[in-house]
Amino acid sequence: MSRFRDFGVFFKLETVRMYVTTSRTAAIVFGLWAIIVSPIGAQAADQSTGEALAQSKACMACHQVDSKRVGPPLRSIGERYAAAGEGDAMVQYLAGKIRSGGRGVWGAVPMPAQPQVSEEDARTLAEWVLSLAPAKSK
CA gap 9, 81 in Å, rounded? 69
Percent of the chain clearing pLDDT 70 (strictly above): 64
Cβ–Cβ < 8 Å for 117, 126: no
Please give the CATH number for the structural domain made up of 41-131: 1.10.760.10
Sorted by sequence, the CB contacts under 8 Å of residue 30 that are 6+ apart come out as: none
Q: At what angle do helices 2-56 and 119-131 cross, to 10 degrees?
A: 100
What would the pLDDT profile of 81-94 be if each residue is shown by its tens digit? 988 877 799 999 99
pLDDT band of residue 5 (cuts 50, 70, 90) is: low
